Amino acid sequence: MGYRIGATAGMTMTKWQRAFNACNLIFLSGLGFSMILPLVHIVAQSFSSNKAIATGKVSFWPVEFTIANYSVILGDSSIWRAFLISTIITAVGTLINLVATSTLAYPLSRTEFVLRKPILVMILITLVFSAPLIPNFLVIKSLGMLDTLWALMIPMAISAYTLFVMRSFFMHLPVELIDAARIDGCGEARIIWHIVMKMSKPLLATMTIIFSVGHWNRYAEAIYYLNDRKLMPLQVRLREIIVADVYETDPLSAIYVQLSPEGIKMAVIVVATVPIVFVYPFLQKYFVKGLLIGSIKS
């Protein structure tokens, strides 16, 4: 009798768990779907004609399909120049972030490093109290980085948050493996490059996505530190098109009936978003592992 009651209770609990999981699945699927719909709407508008957009016929599928909006965008040399600038900032800036952050996080994770505590306190202060804009501007000016792309990469080389994440990961690497490498005659640089970095692929993939998205979306710093129009990244150019309506269509043009200011804006958003979205699939398996950093400790 007792066995049957226990079995019934177990079956009842399993049913509740299944119902809870089903509700979770429905809720999260609906939430994810609601986040995707605006993106689908943007893509649909970018491929729709002026008349269809003006009359509000476009929802989640292109109406009167046209590529005129993309023809205008991809034919604009300033867009390509801004795209190249953003690509350079993202690639070089991410590399600088990874090298600078990892080379500082590793010694701070080692107990034999006697200065780790005062350095960590100083880094923690920068996390709590950030420097205002004017001191930052004066420092960058004094370093001669105004109107250079270095102003968008060097000051952001190390982030306190990502530094603490990397330090936490390095602290839980097998100490025995590092000690064995030292006994075999490996120097610290070789240990970092051949052992620590190879065991940190999930961490590096996660940090690469975080740093890449940050650099690709770089906007405010470009406004503050750059005056040369030729050095403006894609996000600044995107803002000009969306907010300032810098594209003026010619009524005598053959494609004017297909061209829409809103359609051009949507096309620019797609062009600016697609490259960074393509980075994720290549790092997905490492990124999923990286999400578990710090959750499982030996």
Q: Where are the domains of the chain?
A: 75-234
Tell me the backbone φ, ψ of residue 31, rounded to 5 degrees. -65, -45
Contact 61, 190 (CB under 8 A): no
Separation CA 61–CA 103 (nearest Å)? 49
Output the pTM of the full model: 0.75
Q: Which whole-number Å values give the CA distances from 50 to 7, 60, 147, 294, in the listed order?
A: 65, 16, 38, 51
Ordered DSSP codes for 248-277:
---TTSTTTTT--HHHHHHHHHHHHHHHHH
Separation CA 144–CA 151 (nearest Å)? 9
**Residue 4's CB: how many other CB atoms inside 10 A?**
8
pLDDT at 49: 77
pLDDT at 296: 44
The amino acid occupying position 42 is I
* CATH ID of 75-234, from 3.50.50.60, 3.90.190.10, 2.40.30.10, 1.10.3720.10: 1.10.3720.10
Contacts of 82 (CB under 8 A, 6+ apart): 232, 233, 234, 236, 237
Separation CA 198–CA 195 (nearest Å)? 5
Q: What tokens were used for 251? A: 């009524």
Separation CA 294–CA 165 (nearest Å)? 8
Tell me, rounded to whole angstroms, the distance of Cα 233 from its chain centroid: 16
pLDDT at 93: 92
Q: In 266-275, which positions are buried (b, 16+ CB within 10 angstroms) versus exposed (e)?
A: bbbbbbbeee
Q: Which of 229, 216, 175, 173 has its CA nearest to residue 198?
A: 173
pLDDT at 288: 57
Tell me, rounded to whole angstroms, the distance of Cα 235 from its chain centroid: 14
Separation CA 45–CA 58 (nearest Å)? 6
**Residue 27's CB: how many other CB atoms inside 10 A?**
10
**Residue 251's CB: how many other CB atoms inside 10 A?**
7
Contacts of 18 (CB under 8 A, 6+ apart): none
Separation CA 263–CA 128 (nearest Å)? 42
Count how many Cα atoms sit within 13 Å of the Cα of residue 237 in the half-sphere of its side chain. 26
**Cα Rg for the chain, rounded, in angstroms?**
26
Q: What is the pLDDT along the chain (298 residues), one digit of tens a residue?
A: 444 544 444 445 687 888 888 888 899 888 888 888 888 888 888 888 777 777 777 778 887 787 877 887 777 788 888 889 999 999 999 999 999 998 888 888 888 888 888 888 888 888 888 778 888 889 898 988 888 889 889 988 888 888 888 888 888 877 788 778 888 777 777 887 778 887 887 788 888 888 888 888 888 888 889 888 888 888 888 777 766 655 544 443 444 444 567 777 788 888 888 877 777 776 666 665 555 554 444 4
